[in-house]
Structure 1
Amino acid sequence: MKKISVFMDDYRSPPDGYVFVETIDECMDLLRNHPIEHLSLDHDLLSRTRNGLMLVKMMINEKLFANRITIHSANSVGGKNMYNCLKQAQKDLIMPHTIIVSLRPLPLKYFPPRVLQHYSDIK
């Protein structure tokens, strides 16, 4: 089965070639049913209680990961919490150390070309 790349956000549009999801339920469905090369996650979603941190905790509990995970949230506190939770899962040997975890906040409106290079290099 071909690996896909997934972009979860409720505001920004995905880079070319990415499967777009707006909710953690859609994202978990893809994690359960498809091999994922790159997963790019936002913290703040339409639901205040079902956010990116909740998704990360679900991923860790079910041991469902992508080869690369980027936290692109502009919410500095929420994004850092997601990143730290994933890094702790690596330290606790729940998530493999081979998975690359990046914290790369994206602006809400305009993506400068060099910012999108991170996504082009991963696809």
Structure 2
Amino acid sequence: MTVNVFLDDYRHCPQGYILAKDIDECIDLLEKYSISHLSLDHDLECKTRNGLMLVRYMVKHKLFAEFITIHSANSVAGKQMFKYLKEAQNENLMPGTIRISLRPLPLR
């Protein structure tokens, strides 16, 4: 079964996505399902477990989606997440076929 996952603890989850409110929920979904689109926030309620920690975990444990979007409004942290994933691709730590985009969403 292929699903779309939206990691965010503040924004409304788009239709057609499963909401993960923290990185543990997101990891659980990555381990259980094939993910088509994974949309990630950086700043989460738990300040010590954020989106950058998640992308590092994903690369280390080879848990990926076909398409990954960083939607964090935190421009510095969002760019760090994007850069980390792109570098992982360049170093062949994750498939080069995975599309990665940086598209910040406003906090509504």
Looking at structure 1, the residues matched to 16 and 49 of structure 2 have their Cα atoms a distance apart, in angstroms, of 26
Corresponding residue number in structure 1 for 2:107: 108
- Would you say 1:29 and 2:28 are equivalent positions? yes
Please give the per-residue CA displacement for 1:10-55, whole angstroms capped at 9, x wherever unaligned. 1001110100010000000010110000000000000111000000
- Code of the aligned partner of 1:42: D
Corresponding residue number in structure 1 for 2:3: 4
Looking at structure 2, the residues matched to 49 and 24 of structure 1 have their Cα atoms a distance apart, in angstroms, of 11
Runs of 4+ in 1 over 2 A off after TM superposition: none
Aligned residues: 108
Q: Which runs of 5+ in 2 are unaligned?
A: none
Looking at structure 1, the residues matched to 75 and 106 of structure 2 have their Cα atoms a distance apart, in angstroms, of 12
Corresponding residue number in structure 2 for 1:45: 44
Who wins on radius of gyration, i.e. which is larger?
Answer: 1
- CA RMSD of the aligned region, Å? 0.5
Looking at structure 2, the residues matched to 13 and 78 of structure 1 have their Cα atoms a distance apart, in angstroms, of 21
TM-score (norm 2): 0.99
